[in-house]
């Protein structure tokens, strides 16, 4: 039983230490990627939201504009909640690299736009070493915008029933690795009021479903799980040593009570042949005629 418990603990520790490594596989294809642009939302810039779905967790490298202001990296669980426990991505040479433990992820950052009076415009380019099976692009028209156009032209526009805003949807397409995809957006503002200030009912980038778990990301989880495994091993070893060192108790032996514990056990003698035989009224042992106390239990004998 002890050996089975130790083997179980060792296997559990091995699985815990290997699990983070399984997510290190480089991702070469993204099943689906939605890029949403929210210009003049809560800052005088463009909020970019990337929501991706992978075939399996792994390490992802995506393009990041040089002038971008990174905001959020999160995984999305099965209930649709965003959990920002992956830490910050590694940003270098116009790319961001991160490792996700889930098949869905969300990235948010801000990038600047060009402004001339009430006219605003920005251009976004996608060029990555990873292919995208389905790329969806949506542009949110600012609440204070009078008009908005995209290039390539949007295939349609929809007014959202929850926030009342107009969303311009581009035709979904496949983007192979190494191929550039570019979208240009132009719009005219009626005033400088930001969308979030204009309509307080709008929630920012699903922030109500975002859960903060850890700023250290995957490395923190690896340390925590590894520490838990070492703790389990320590408990198992301590338990085994304690079990071995514990002395085995012998069954208790009932001993008769005696008046003098150091007095040697009396030798039984037969009752005298002559006269009436005497017996101890307490323990029933025979006694000689001149005995005053029982030789066995020490009880004072009754005089005849």
Domain boundary assignment for the chain: 2-222, 258-304
Tell me which of 11-25, 224-238, 282-296 is least confident. Answer: 11-25
Pairing of strands 119-126, 114-116: antiparallel
The 8 Å CB, 24+ separation contacts for 221-225 are: 221/20, 221/85, 221/101, 222/17, 222/20, 225/16, 225/17, 225/19, 225/20
In the predicted model, what is the mean pLDDT of residues 58-65? Answer: 96
Across the range 38-62, mean pLDDT stands at: 97
Return the minimum-mean-pLDDT range out of 47-56, 204-213, 280-289. Answer: 204-213
- Of all residues in the chain, the percent with pLDDT exceeding 70 is 66
Which of 106-120, 148-162, 186-200, 288-302 shows the lowest per-residue confidence on average (mean pLDDT)?
A: 288-302
Q: What is the pLDDT of residue 249?
A: 46
Q: Is the pLDDT of residue 101 over 70?
A: yes
Residues 232, 267: Cα–Cα separation, whole Å: 61
Enter the tokens of residue 249: 């108790």
Q: Which residue has the higher pLDDT, 14 or 59?
A: 59
Range of weakest confidence among 89-103, 117-131, 202-216: 202-216
Mean pLDDT of 259-278: 48
Please give the structure tokens belonging to residue 113. 């736009």
Domain 2-222 in this protein, CATH class = mainly beta
Whole-angstrom Cα distance, residue 26 to residue 29?
A: 9
* pLDDT over 60 at 267, yes or no: no
* pTM, 2 dp: 0.63
Confidence check: pLDDT of 137 > 80: yes
In the numeric block, the tokens 């198992």 are attached to: 236
Mean of the per-residue pLDDT values for the chain? 79
Burial class (CB in 10 A: 0-12, 13-18, 19+), 160: exposed
* 3-class DSSP state of 167: strand
């Amino acid at each position: 039983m002890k050996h089975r418990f130790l083997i179980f603990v060792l296997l559990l520790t091995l699985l815990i230490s290997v699990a983070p490594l399984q997510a290190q596989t480089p991702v070469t294809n993204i099943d689906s990627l939605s890029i949403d642009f929210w210009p003049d939302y809560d800052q005088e810039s463009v909020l970019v939201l990337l929501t991706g779905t992978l075939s399996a967790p792994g390490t992802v490298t995506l393009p990041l504009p040089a002038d971008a202001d990174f905001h959020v990296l999160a995984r999305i669980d099965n209930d649709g909640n965003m959990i920002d426990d992956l830490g910050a991505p590694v940003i270098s040479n116009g790319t961001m690299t991160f490792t996700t433990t889930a098949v869905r992820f969300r990235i948010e950052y801000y990038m600047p736009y060009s402004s001339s009076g009430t006219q605003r415009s920005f251009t976004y380019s996608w060029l990555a070493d990873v292919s995208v099976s389905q790329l969806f692009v949506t542009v949110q028209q600012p609440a204070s915008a009078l008009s908005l156009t995209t290039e390539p032209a949007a295939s349609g526009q929809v007014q959202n029933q929850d926030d009342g805003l107009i969303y311009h949807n581009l035709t979904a397409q496949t983007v192979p690795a190494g191929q550039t995809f570019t979208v240009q957006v132009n719009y005219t503002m009626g005033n400088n009021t930001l969308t979030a200030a204009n309509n307080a009912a709008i929630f920012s980038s699903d922030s109500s479903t975002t859960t903060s778990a850890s700023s250290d990301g995957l490395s923190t989880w690896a340390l925590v799980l590894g520490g838990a495994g070492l703790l389990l091993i320590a408990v198992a070893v301590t338990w085994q040593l304690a079990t071995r060192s514990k002395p085995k108790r012998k069954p208790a032996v009932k001993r008769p009570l005696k008046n003098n514990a150091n007095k040697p056990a009396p030798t039984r003698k037969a009752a005298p042949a002559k006269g009436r035989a005497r017996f101890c009224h307490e323990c029933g042992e025979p006694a000689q005629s001149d005995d005053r106390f029982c030789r066995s239990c020490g009880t004072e004998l009754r005089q005849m």
